[in-house]
Amino acid sequence: MIHLPGWLPPSAATDVTLVLRGHKPAARVSVGSRGGDLRRWARRYGLFTSIDADGFAAISRNPATARRVIDLDRRPGRHTLALGTMLGYPPCCSRAAARVGDEGIDRRHAAMATRRFHGRFRAINPSGYADGSSRISHVPCSTRCQPSLRMAMLPQGC
């Protein structure tokens, strides 16, 4: 049984769980000053971390991937598409996020969370992301995104 650290923000639960289960190559989370704690926790589960000076960390089964995520995230300029791809988000959703850029993702998330998701697509509603109850860790490109639905249907418990 894998236990996520209680000090991780609730929003990290889905992202980290998908990495732990091998469904995503990497996750990017905010850890503040707990970088050392994250590194020790991750090593117990065969994960690697790379942490920047601002308290953001990348977690991956591959040390080079963790480093590349942080390197790319810190790079100036528009890198939303490349970062979304590196984090394992569906290409259609990464492209939609790239259209609004890093600075517009929160607004896009808020707008998508108010839209109606019908039937099985309720599983991709991003409204539960902040409290850790969302089944996906990205903003879907639409209310009927098939790749996001496939990701949401993956087993998620640790």
Is 93 found in the same domain as 69?
A: no
φ/ψ region of 134 (left if φ > 0, alpha if ψ in -120 to 50, else beta) reads beta
Are both 115 and 71 inside the same structural domain? no
How many structural domains is the chain composed of?
A: 2
What is the CATH classification number for the domain harbouring 68? 3.30.70
Please write the tens of the pLDDT for every residue from 71-129.
999 998 899 999 999 999 999 999 999 999 989 999 999 999 999 999 999 999 999 88
Residues 46 and 14 in one domain: yes
In 11-129, the DSSP E strands lie at 26-30, 48-51, 56-60
Q: How many other CB atoms sit within 10 Å of the CB of residue 134? A: 22
Give the C-alpha separation, 83 to 99, whole Å: 13
Rounded distance, CA 62 to CA 105, Å? 27
91 is in which domain, residue-wise? 78-153
The per-residue pLDDT for 157 is 58
